[in-house]
Every structure is written in C-alpha cells, then in structure tokens.
Chains A and B, each alone.
Chain A
Amino acid sequence: MKTFEEKWTAWIDGELTGAELAEFEASLPDRAAAEAEKRGALKLQSFLKEYLPCPAMGNEEFFHHQLRERIAAETHVDDPAESDAGSPVWWPLGRLIWVGATALAIFAVCTIFVMREAPTADQSQYLSQILNARVDPVVNPNATITKFESKEDKVTILWVEGLQSLPSEFAAK
C-alpha cells in the first residue's frame, strides 16, 4: 500500500498508470492546484538539470596518481607478509625433524658441560669454612693451610700448620 507521498512522487514522474493513476487523480481534493504543483515540480527538474551541470574535475592525472599512491600504501599496510611472499607458511616435516634434533643435541651438550663444571655437592664443608676464617697474622704469624684433594676418592685433606689453636666450631664432628 503506497503512501500519499509515494503516489504523489510517482505521479510527478509519470510512473502512475492505468487504474492507479485514475484512482489517485480522483482522490485529489483540488485537481487544478495539484496540476499547478506538478508543473512547478517539472520546471524545478529541468531547472536543476540546467543549472547543476556535472562539474569538470580537472587534474585527472593527478587524481589517478594520488589514488594509486594511496592504494599502494594501503596494500603495503594490509599485507605485512608481502615481503615474505613465496616462502612457505609451514616448514616441511623433514626440516622440522632436523631442527628439533639439532636443538636437542645442543641442549644435551650444554647440559653435560654445565654438569661437569658444577662443584660436587659432597665437598667438605670445612674447606670453605677454614679458608674463610680470619687468620690473624699477629697471633698466628706462621699459619699455613694446605689442601690435598682426591676427586676420585671424594677425599679432601686440609693440612693446617702454625695455628695456636683451632676454633671449636671447626672441630671435626
């Protein structure tokens, strides 16, 4: 069901025909005024056509150039992987296996190296304690400490000479 506005517009544009046209024209309360309005609308149409020509753009080449530049910039931004074009997104399975095995081997070598360098956990606590002890050169001018160590047997011998006394906390337990 068309509204009055829709029918009026169709009537102005000559889109109403047949029974619809007759029905609409019969429904107009003041046919003469409506016809005058229609003539006015048609004059307005031709008036707008005459005085609203499609303006020439000018500098068409520059328009294209500018547009191409903007498209190129947008394309570059939208496709960051463009520079990697041609390289596969996923590595082949063989390469993945090789890389995995190599990484594992490097990890194993590093682990062994670090383990060999690490100090043994069962090293005598007295060694560090005595070496850290303050030996007063006035009280013990001739004090010397010599360490004998056998890693195979896990034995460390400290040979202390020249001490007047050994602090009680360093006594063998």
Chain B
Amino acid sequence: MHTEATPAQADVSELDLVKQCQAGDTEAFDQLVSRYRTRVFGMIYNMVHNEQDAWDLAQDSFLKAWKSIGRFRGQSSFYTWIYRIVTNVTIDWLRKKHVKGSGTEFDDAVQLKEIDPASRTVPKADALPHQRMERQEIRARIDAAIEQLSPEHRAVILMKETEDMQYHEIAEALGCSIGTVMSRLFYARKKLQNLLRDLYENV
C-alpha cells in the first residue's frame, strides 16, 4: 500500500509521528493526515458517492482519530487503525441514512448518479469527449451497483478491489474475523457480477 509521504516526511517514521501526536503535537498529526487524506477521502467517496459528504466524513474520521490516538498501541499499522475509524464513521453514517443493500437485481430504473463534468473525481486523462462521457456512464453504473450493497459489503469490496488490502487487514479495519471478510467478499462479488456483467464483459 502506497502512501502520500514526501521524501522529507518519510524520514520520520509513522510510529514516531504517532508518539508525537500522543504527546499533543498537532504538527505531527498534520503530517499523518497528509499521508493518508487522499486514500481516506477516496475510500469514503467510493462508499457514499458524494464529494461533500466524503469531505465531511473524512474530517470526522481524522478528528475522531486525533481524539482517540492516545489509545493507539501500535499493535496494527496506523493505516489499518485509521481505516477502522473511517469505516466505522462511514458505515454509521450510511446506516443513519437507512442505506441497506436490497436483494433486488440491478434495475435500469435506479437513478444513476450524475457526475459533474468539472468534478475532480473525473479522471484527468486527456480523453476525447465521447470517451469521457462513456467513462462517466460506466462510473455511474458502478456507483449505482455499489449502492445496492450493504455498508459492510461496500467496505469489504472496496478495500479488497481498490485498496488491495489483505484479508487480515480488512478484518482488523472492520473489527471482524477473516472468515467474515471472505464470506462478505463472496456475496459482494456475486452481486456485483450479476449487476455489472454486461459492462465488464463488453468494455
């Protein structure tokens, strides 16, 4: 898993930064935030599909991390620890919004999320207009399919498929067993395969 650390920042180990944070050093915490903000934001965005909500939830997650960093004992990596906070915050938020994975198959009537063409989430490659539009449509289909999953299944599939996290890392982040992670992956993949087969087989 890569981080966003610059060479200068990388000189300071993560554990040292955590220790400085535990002593109340907000500058050290700033460095940790710099390292993980984009990945945290991306993970949340892929779960909630809204930039403003993702921004707010990333803020809440880091604030919660700051408040509880005194309890971090270094038994797992800081990355896994912060992901646990992120997933808890995001899953709680999704539950409050009554987001539940339905058992229904994908339906074209599901409202596809419109993505602002000026959005920073749009890939910055110099694609032709029709290619950009095609990507946006595909992205919207994927978002709609992910919205069919329960918050827990969303977290598992995104950590595995987009973050390349290992089973044990996902289990630590979600506070569940490796078996539960594998089982959730099984059902999440099956559902996405059913919902997106026509896309990934033809693109």
Which residues of chain A have a CB within 8 Å of any CB of chain B? Answer: 2-3, 5-6, 8-10, 12, 15, 37, 40-41, 43-45, 47-49, 51-58, 60, 63-64, 66-68, 70-72, 74, 78
Contacts and interface: CB of A to CB of B under 8 A. Distances in A.
B73 interface: no
Interface stretch (B5-13, B101-109, B191-199): B191-199
Interface of B: 26, 29-30, 33-34, 37-39, 41-43, 45-46, 51, 55, 58-59, 62-63, 66-67, 119-121, 123-124, 135, 138-139, 142, 157-158, 161-162, 167, 179, 182-183, 185-187, 189, 192-193, 196-197, 199-201, 203
28 contacts: A5-B187, A9-B182, A9-B185, A9-B189, A12-B189, A37-B193, A40-B193, A43-B200, A43-B201, A44-B189, A44-B200, A45-B161, A47-B196, A47-B199, A51-B142, A52-B46, A52-B162, A54-B39, A54-B43, A55-B46, A56-B121, A64-B30, A66-B59, A68-B26, A68-B30, A71-B26, A71-B66, A74-B66
Contacts of B199: 47
A49 to B, nearest CB: 6
| Main DSSP-derived SS at the A contact region | helix
Contacts of B142: 48, 51-52
B38 A54 contact: yes
| Main DSSP-derived SS at the B contact region | helix
Contacts of A64: 30, 33-34
A58 B120 contact: yes
A37 B197 CA distance: 11
Contact of A56 (B38, B189, B201): B38
B38 A57 contact: yes
Contacts of B33: 63-64, 67
A138 to B, nearest CB: 88
A43 B202 CA distance: 11
Contacts of B196: 44, 47
Contacts of B123: 53
B202 to A, nearest CB: 10
A71 B28 CA distance: 13
Given A44-B193, A54-B39, A60-B37, A3 B179 contact: yes
B37 A48 contact: no
Nearest to B121: A55
Nearest to A43: B200
| Interchain residue pairs A-B with the least CB separation, the first 9 | A54-B42, A55-B121, A5-B186, A47-B200, A6-B182, A9-B182, A58-B120, A57-B41, A48-B161
Contacts of A48: 142, 157, 161-162, 192
Contacts of A5: 182-183, 186-187
